[in-house]
Amino acid sequence: MRYAVLGTGVVGRAVAGKLASLGHEVVVGTRDPRATLDRDDSFAGWLHEHETVRPATFAEAAEGAEAVVNATGGAASLAALTAAGAENLAGKLLIDIANPLVFAEDLPRFEPVDTDSLGEQIQRAFPEAKVVKSLNTMNADVMVDPALVPGEHNVFVSGDDAGAKQAVTDLLVSIGWPRESVIDLGDITTARGAEMLVAAWLRVSLALGHHTFNFHIAGARRG
């Protein structure tokens, strides 16, 4: 499968690297590939280690892809996806991992929150894309290597398109997530809960002093 992973941060790199290791064709999207390589030695080094992965503009990456991953900063996601181009997202699976964090002096706040979510904003802005919110409730390392966290733990999917959620579930299973660990929360409005859970994640991470943990929903099987 041909994936565009939009985002050059830790999440974009983790997901792109994993998809490439599974044999997928992966292009990583960034605003300006030349500028990003010049500015960010660590990204250049990462690309060197992942020679099948190619950098491109957001639009070039999305245009050639069958499925798109949004791993851009939450406050910038709508701008990044607009740059990717609605026509390059139409009809495609769009896996949204971003969190709508606004960084403040201490802990970030969420915008939007409560009555809206970034996942919904993206679905409204790109109605022809099949948006599935997933993987946003854990650290990037755990997303692509769930065995880092011992025992049972969960990953959520939210979205309006049942086929798209099934495709994401199958992808998660191929990454190493047990099928029963995937919890379908419902339509894209349920992304509100998945995004707001990150407020708890941030506080747990401060309390534990590390990032390699995840949420486990006890009794997760449907009653």
Ligand X SMILES: NC(=O)c1ccc[n+]([C@@H]2O[C@H](COP(=O)([O-])OP(=O)(O)OC[C@H]3O[C@@H](n4cnc5c(N)ncnc54)[C@H](OP(=O)(O)O)[C@@H]3O)[C@@H](O)[C@H]2O)c1
Closest distance of CB 49 from ligand X, Å = 17
The Cα 71–Cα 7 span in angstroms is: 5
Q: Indicate whether 57 belongs to the interface with ligand X (CB under 6 A).
A: no
The Cα 88–Cα 81 span in angstroms is: 9
Q: Indicate whether 12 belongs to the interface with ligand X (CB under 6 A).
A: yes
Q: Indicate whether 158 belongs to the interface with ligand X (CB under 6 A).
A: no
Closest CA to 97 of 153, 200, 168: 168
Whether 40 and 28 have beta carbons less than 8 Å apart is answered as no
Nearer to ligand X, 93 or 142 (CB): 142
Nearer to ligand X, 38 or 162 (CB): 38
Taking residues 77 to 96 in sequence order and writing x for each that binds ligand X by CB under 6 A, - otherwise, the string is --xx----------------
Beta pairing, strands 101-102 & 109-110: antiparallel
Beta pairing, strands 101-102 & 93-96: unpaired
Closest distance of CB 124 from ligand X, Å = 18
Window contacting ligand X (CB under 6 A); options: 85-93, 134-142, 156-164, 186-194:
134-142
Give the number of residues in contact with ligand X, rule: CB under 6 A: 23
Q: Indicate whether 71 belongs to the interface with ligand X (CB under 6 A).
A: yes
The Cα 177–Cα 179 span in angstroms is: 6
Closest CA to 4 of 62, 59, 60: 62
The Cα 100–Cα 119 span in angstroms is: 9
Nearer to ligand X, 12 or 119 (CB): 12
Q: Indicate whether 121 belongs to the interface with ligand X (CB under 6 A).
A: no
Site residues, ligand X (CB under 6 A): 7-12, 30-31, 36, 71-74, 76, 79-80, 97-99, 101, 136, 139-140
